[in-house]
Chains A and B, each alone.
Chain A
């Protein structure tokens, strides 16, 4: 043992009776403790500050189809972006630091690029490794009233297929005519030209063009006598229609009307030709009859 005891080296804690520390050493030790507290506080503070955007956030994010309720979604999302990678129209984006705990989680900005289900099978759900996006919500998680769809939504694009439905049980939001005053249908106006202008990057699948290849909406100009784009391009059967309604003054006019099968995909919001859009998805909204 003598060889060990004689060796030089920094003082270990192995000896029971430590020599008293010098003033300088004491000060160094104190500073070290302070630094440790500083770094601990810094790391934990930075991490916890991620809660602030959740508490004060005004804007709700529209999550991809099959998403669990927001709290469970944030708990289970591993922030890998595999849903982003499989989306054929790149509708899914990842949130940044301003989303706090939601940094790196997927969301859809429907006006810029909506989910038009051109993958047919809701690929993002298939890609999710943690069940944040899921076909089968676990039993113990409640379904909010009005979030459940009355029936599996029928995808118009595959209406003639053997299995025409999408495997979705809940909606991600509901379309709302938030600016009826600017709606062209209500004004009885038509629309001619490119939706959101020639530089618009948004893409969509047009069955009349190519079932498996979404094209730029800018490359598919419209010319309609009476605007019905939201109802015309809605990918879900029976989710929206142009109806004749009575205005408060008793006069008749046309208006888009959203129905129960609406899943909240956002195609109507993307395809609305007025700026800002007359119809919008209210994220995580439930159906109120």
Chain B
């Protein structure tokens, strides 16, 4: 990794913790060449192809993701309903054919609050840590978390209402998420209660699916209403400490989205569909620091940008694998 890439790597971690993305301080000569070329030239064939691609929006990754998310959550439900002991428990902690799996943020809360860690807790947390280290950290958010799916649908409604000029998206400072992570961690240590678990929509929804609905769903509903009428994807963007925990795991993950500068038209359609558009600052005209740029750790690897991009400039990538092949 050269210096320019190293700096971006560090910047992206800071961006995850809430800093606003900034213009890059240095750009590689090759990328600079492309930026300059794009300023003065139009490629008419590419524009035609591009316009044609726009006419055929793809939902490949979205569909795959929705199926995965629904199946994963359904597996919990089916396992309990038919008592087949395949995936016992809920998203906070479970056992997959006997192997302990424990959600990282829930595990963290329990460890901080209880201050005593038993072997099963270590095993389950370790397994999940390795799993998401390999699969991309916040991949958990968009591919597994049931709240994410509901919020995605609420987001559609929100975007529709914005288009009708009935509501506006009220943005909020992203540093709030880091503060909320610290707040709930300190609170767990200080009070000895896993305070965040009481309001975690992930846990509440997962349990509601498996063990039946309860009053706690009203809290989830309140969050969704807030997101529809007030602030787009507010919980996932600005508040949820689970996202930050998995984001940190994703720093070293080989699975990510890769941006290729040369074919990009810099229209920003990807940023419009993205849950975390700050990770896509690199697609803004003149911002890409290299010809190929990996997207940062806060990315949930949901693939909406991959589906949306008409030129294939954003693609799933496994670090090292492309070199190997």
- Chain A contacts to B: CB under 8 angstroms: 1, 3-4, 6-9, 12-14, 31-33, 35-36, 39-40, 43-44, 46-48, 50-51, 71-72, 74-82, 84-86, 94, 96-98, 100-101, 103-104, 127, 129-131, 134, 138, 140-141
What's the Cα separation between A35 and B239 when bound, in Å? 13
What's the Cα separation between A39 and B210 when bound, in Å? 29
What's the Cα separation between A277 and B76 when bound, in Å? 37
What's the Cα separation between A128 and B184 when bound, in Å? 24
What's the Cα separation between A13 and B14 when bound, in Å? 14
Q: Which of B21-29, B60-68, B316-324 contacts A (4 or more CB under 8 A)?
A: B21-29
B116 touches A76 (CB 8 A): yes
B195 touches A78 (CB 8 A): no
A82 touches B199 (CB 8 A): no
Instruction: Please tell me which one of the listed residues A33, A129, A130 contacts residue B114 in the complex, with CB atoms under 8 A apart.
Output: A130
| CB-based closest 3 A-B pairs | A7-B286, A80-B93, A76-B114
B23 touches A129 (CB 8 A): no
Instruction: Jot down 16 A-B pairs with beta carbons below 8 A, ordered by A.
Output: A7-B284, A7-B285, A13-B20, A35-B170, A40-B179, A43-B239, A50-B198, A76-B113, A76-B114, A77-B110, A80-B93, A82-B88, A82-B93, A96-B216, A129-B121, A130-B110
**Chain A residues with CB below 8 A from B9, complex form:** none
User: On chain B, which size bracket covers the interface?
Assistant: 35 or more
Closest-by-CB residue of B relative to A8 is B285
Closest-by-CB residue of B relative to A44 is B183
**Chain B residues with CB below 8 A from A79, complex form:** 90, 92, 106, 194, 197, 203, 207
**Chain B residues with CB below 8 A from A84, complex form:** 211
**Chain B residues with CB below 8 A from A14, complex form:** 22-23, 25
Separation in Å of the A100 CB from the closest CB of chain B?
A: 6
What's the Cα separation between A111 and B250 when bound, in Å? 48
Instruction: Please tell me which one of the listed residues A71, A82, A86, A104 contacts residue B192 in the complex, with CB atoms under 8 A apart.
Output: A71
B214 touches A81 (CB 8 A): no
Given contacts A9-B284, A35-B172, 13 further A-B contacts (CB under 8 A): A3-B32, A32-B171, A43-B180, A43-B239, A75-B114, A75-B192, A80-B93, A80-B94, A81-B210, A82-B94, A96-B214, A104-B198, A130-B121
B165-224: which have CB < 8 Å to A? 170-173, 176, 179-180, 183-184, 187, 191-199, 203-204, 207, 210-211, 214-216, 218-219
B203 touches A104 (CB 8 A): yes
B199 touches A46 (CB 8 A): yes
Separation in Å of the B127 CB from the closest CB of chain A?
A: 11
**Chain A residues with CB below 8 A from B173, complex form:** 32-33, 36
B207 touches A104 (CB 8 A): yes
Separation in Å of the B183 CB from the closest CB of chain A?
A: 6
**Chain B residues with CB below 8 A from A47, complex form:** 184, 187, 195-196, 198-199
A75 touches B113 (CB 8 A): yes
B55 within 8 Å of A by Cβ?
Answer: no
- Chain B contacts to A: CB under 8 angstroms: 20-27, 32, 35-36, 39, 80, 83, 88-90, 92-95, 100, 102-103, 106-107, 110, 113-116, 118, 120-121, 124, 170-173, 176, 179-180, 183-184, 187, 191-199, 203-204, 207, 210-211, 214-216, 218-219, 231, 234, 238-239, 284-287
What's the Cα separation between A94 and B80 when bound, in Å? 14
**Chain A residues with CB below 8 A from B216, complex form:** 96-97, 103-104
Instruction: Please tell me which one of the listed residues A32, A36, A74, A82 contacts residue B193 in the complex, with CB atoms under 8 A apart.
Output: A74
A101 touches B287 (CB 8 A): no
**Chain A residues with CB below 8 A from B199, complex form:** 43, 46-47, 50
**Chain A residues with CB below 8 A from B120, complex form:** 129-131
Instruction: Please tell me which one of the listed residues B23, B83, B215 contacts residue A9 in the complex, with CB atoms under 8 A apart.
Output: B23
A3 touches B27 (CB 8 A): yes
A40 touches B94 (CB 8 A): no
Known: A12-B23, A46-B219, A84-B211. Is A36-B287 also a contact (CB below 8 A)?
no
Known: A50-B195, A78-B93. Is A131-B118 also a contact (CB below 8 A)?
yes
Closest-by-CB residue of A relative to B33 is A3
A80 touches B89 (CB 8 A): yes
